[in-house]
Amino acid sequence: MPIEILMPALSPTMSEGTLARWLKAEGEAVKPGDVLAEIETDKATMEFEAADEGILGRILVPGGTAGVKVNQPIGLLLEEGEDRTVLDRASRPSNTSVMPGLDPGIHVAAATPALAMDPRVKPGGDESRRQTGARTFASPLARRIAAEAGLDLARLTGSGPQGRIVKADVEQAIQSGTGRSVAAPAPAVTKAPPPALAPFEPAYEEIPNSSIRKVIARRLTEAKATVPHFYLSVDCQVDALLKIRADLNARLEGGKLSVNDFVVRAVALALKTVPAANASWGEEAIRRYRDIDISVAVATDNGLITPIVHHADRKGLAEISAAMKTLAAKARDGKLKPEEFQGGGFTVSNLGMYGIKSFSAILNPPQGCILAVGAAEQRPVVKDGALAVATVMTCTLSVDHRVVDGAVGAEFLAAFKGLIEDPLSMLL
C-alpha cells in the first residue's frame, strides 16, 4: 500500500497550517531529505522534508490550501515496485466525499469514481462525458497545465487509474493539437459593477490576512487585553558606546557591529545581575529561566517574528552580531527552524533605526518583559550643573506585573543603563 504523507506539526502549538506549495510533482522520484513542500505555520513558512523514498503518486491537498489539519493526509508515496493502481485501493474515508480545500477532481474514497459508474460514459474523455455532465478526473498538475494551454479536459482520454487524466495525457494533447476548447462561443458574461462606495468612503483594496498575520493579531490582542502591563522608561547617554563601536568597527573585517548588538549584550548581562526579570507567567507558578535567551523582534513581509539569540550572556559582541545577521536573514526568507524562534525569556524591540524617539511595546507572552529601544539622538542635558549636549537613547521596559514588580523592573533598567553608558564593562 502507498505511504501516506501527513501534514506535519512544525511547532508545538500548531494544529493546522497552510500548504503553501508543492515542490515535487506527481510522478517525481523522492528520497529522504528532499523538500516536498512549503508549509506556512502560525510563525513562518517552512520547508517540509521527505522521510521515505519512493514516487510521489498522488497529491491529495493542492498548494495554496489553508486550514489543513495536522496529521491530515496530504499526499501518497509509492514505494519501489508499486504500481499506480494501488493508489485507488489506499485506505481512505468511506463514500465519495471530497476533503476540504481539495481539488474537486480528487476523490478521497476507496469506491470506484462516479465517472466509471455511469454506463453512458467511457473511462476516458469523450463527447458523451460532456453531454452527461459527469465529473472529469484529473491530477492537479494536469489541470494546471491544461488550463494554461487552453485545453478542455472533457475532450481528453486519461491513461491513469480509472481513466484519470495525468500530466502525460495533457502534454500529448498539446503536442497533437487535440482537446482545445472550440464549438459554441462562450456566453457573454456581464460583470457586475463594483459595489458603490458609501458617501465620503475612500477607495481601498483588500489584502487577505496570512496565517502568520492572523496569529500575530490574536496573540497581541490577548496580550494587551489580559496581561496587566506597566511601563518604565530610562534615558541612556550613548556617546561612549558610539565611540567604542566606531573604534571596533574600524578594526573588524567583514560585518560591523550595530547599536542593537550592544543592546542585546547589555540586556543579557543585566538579566544575569537581575535574574528575576528573566521570567514568564504560569497559572500555577512563575517560571524563572536559568538560561538567558533573548528574543529580538525582526520585521518581515508577513509580519513580526522574534528569532532568539540563545545563551546571549555567554556570547561576545561579534558573536551576537553574527548570530543576529544570520537569524534576521532567515526570518525574512521564512527559513527559521522552530527552535530558532520558539521560546526565549526576554524580548528586545528596536525601532531606533526608523528615527522613533520612544515607544511602548506590547508584551510577548508568556514572557514577563520586553524592552523598546528608541533612536540615539543629540539632546540638551545638564552635566555638573551646566547645560551640555549628549547623544541620548530612550528605552522603555514593558512589564507583566504578575511576573515582575516595579522595583525589580527598576533594578533591571538601572543595571542596563550602567552597562550601556559604560560599554567597556561589557567587553570584560
**Which residues are identified as catalytic?**
401
Residues 279 and 345: beta-carbon distance below 8 Å: yes
Q: Residue 284, class by beta-carbon neighbours within 10 Å (0-12 exposed, 13-18 middle, 19+ buried)?
A: exposed
Is the Cα torsion angle 332, 334, 340, 341 positive or negative in sign?
positive
CA distance 381 to 35: 57
Q: Kind of pairing, strands 279-280 and 287-288?
A: antiparallel
CA distances from 409 to 96, 119, 223, 376 (A): 61, 78, 19, 22
For residue 305, what is its C-alpha cell? Answer: 517574528
Residue type, 162: Q
Alpha helical stretches, state H, 66-182: 114-117, 127-132, 140-149, 167-176
Is the Cα torsion angle 119, 122, 128, 134 positive or negative in sign?
positive
In 70-163, beta strands by DSSP E: 73-78
